Amino acid sequence: MSDFLMPSMGADMEAGTLVEWLVSPGDRVEKGQVIAVVETAKGAIDVEVFESGVVEECYVEPDTRVPVGTPLARIGSSERVVAGRPGSLLEPAVLAETVSAEATSAGPVAEPSKFPESPPAPSPQPETDRVAASPAARRRARELGLELGNINGSGPGGAVVLRDLAQAADDKPRHEHRRSGAFDRDEMRQAIAASMSRSKREIPHYYLATTLDLHAAEHWLAEYNREQPPEARLLMAALFMKATARALSRYPDLNGHYDEQGFHPAERVHLGMAIHLRGGGLIAPALRDAEAQDLPALMSRLQDLVQRARSGGLRASELSSATATVTALGERGVDTVYGVIHPPQVAMVGFGSVRRRPLAVGGMLAIRPAVDVSLAADHRVCDGHLGARFLNEIDAQLQHPEAL
């Protein structure tokens, strides 16, 4: 038995608001299952559970703002089911003794006295009262502040689907929407300001940059895409991400987290991707195990990540697990970008625009596609010599794109 805690979804996060429970006491849950939605400065985030078991008690009511590390629910072993629910294995007396146990907490939370030993659990809602709706419709309804119970569903069995929300949103006065874009932008800017100020204050950055010849990468990419349907074609960004992930796996001093105990290299490369949000702001969810993905899978996951970052549906693990981050501003016409490291990471890689430039090739002048790549690294962990070798490794990877 263990407590399910309010997760940290970034070094800048101090608290979050529980928006919705997607499970009730007595429900069985599997590791990785989304069980709650939490509102942060980065938007509504799906929060998954990291162990299988049974939800024994929900401590926190929806619309409650709580600090990171606060116990939200208690998850019991897979053999334990709340009494009175189908398949229950606990007698009422045993259950009463179990749920009176003191809830523990971890991380930066408020004084323990603020949390009662046995927080009141919200009354389980009968399954028949739960409005039938698609996951996408539920997410969109949360974003618009709409009550699903007030919407007539046109999906299978009367389920509410995305198309049903359009008219409901138009009929609702704008000021009644649950979240306003201006508020979200202001809160996100404050979060970015806090994180980046901490980064520049605490992390001794050093910067390196070089220009990479993309002749081989461009030629291979054109040949590959010629044989693919439009939806399966790759972008140069996928090659950049894969080459960076492989280079990080070979230079682990740039892949990991730095905290009060020092640097902790990561076993895998969970590559953060800086994504600009249309309403303003920036978010950097992680492509997990990026070094182990082939290019088509990496491209698909990258597109999915961008879509969910901009429309909703990111998971807490995607926002908290990045071991290094890539930022690419080439589409904005920028030749070189120098990033600011996201704490507690120790490296940020930047890619600029791919342009045709005069380059010296074999003692001759040639016009080749090229890109500027930069590195911002933490001087507490490594120095410029290692950083230069890392950039050279990215170059070497891109010279043999067929091996990526």
- Let me know whether 193 and 90 are in one domain: no
Let me know whether 347 and 223 are in one domain. yes
Q: What is the pLDDT of residue 125?
A: 42
- Residue 50 maps to which CATH number? 2.40.50.100
Rg of the chain over all Cα atoms, to the nearest angstrom: 24
Where residue 271 sits, what CATH number does that domain have? Answer: 3.30.559.10
Domain C-terminal end among 83, 115, 130:
130
Q: Is the residue at 395 inside a domain?
A: yes
DSSP assigned state of 230: G
Q: Are residues 204 and 80 in the same domain?
A: no
| Choice between 307 and 118, residue whose per-residue pLDDT is larger | 307
Whether residue 111 is found in the same domain as residue 235: no
Q: What is the pLDDT of residue 136?
A: 65
Q: Is residue 212 part of a domain?
A: yes
**Position 147 in a domain:** no
Lowest mean pLDDT across 121-130, 138-147, 231-240? 121-130
Residues 55 and 35: their CA atoms lie apart, in Å, by: 10
pLDDT in tens, 151-172: 888 776 777 876 677 666 655 5
- Sorted by sequence, the CB contacts under 8 Å of residue 179 that are 6+ apart come out as 39, 143, 145
What pTM, to 2 d.p., does this model score? 0.67
The pLDDT of residue 247: 98
pLDDT digits (tens, 9 = 90+) for 28-86: 998 888 888 888 776 778 888 888 889 988 988 888 888 888 888 888 875 544 443 43
Q: Give percent above pLDDT 90 in the chain.
A: 41
**What's the mean pLDDT when you consider all of the chain?**
80
CB 273 within 8 A of CB 241: yes
Per-residue pLDDT band for 111 (boundaries 50, 70, 90) equals very low
Counting runs of H as helices and runs of E as strands, what totals does the chain give? 9, 19
159 lies in some domain: no
Give the pLDDT confidence of 212-267 residue by residue, as tens digits.
999 999 999 999 999 999 989 999 999 999 999 999 999 999 999 999 999 999 99
Residues 310 and 376 in one domain: yes
How large is the average pLDDT for residues 371-400?
A: 97
Query: What is the count of structural domains for the chain?
Result: 2
- The residue range of the domain holding 116 is 2-130
Instruction: Considering only the C-alpha atoms of the chain, give the largest distance between any 2 of them, rounded to a whole number of Å.
Output: 86
Summarize the confidence of residues 300-311 as an average pLDDT.
87
When mean pLDDT is compared over 10-14, 160-164, 212-216, 274-278, the highest value belongs to 212-216
Residues 6+ apart with CB under 8 A from 166: none
Q: Are residues 110 and 228 in the same domain?
A: no
Out of 99, 130, 161, a domain closes at 130
Instruction: Tell me the per-residue pLDDT of 342-361, one tens digit each, with 9 for 90 and over.
Output: 999 999 999 999 999 999 99
Q: Are residues 125 and 194 in the same domain?
A: no
Show the beta-strand stretches assigned E in 202-261. Answer: 205-213, 256-259
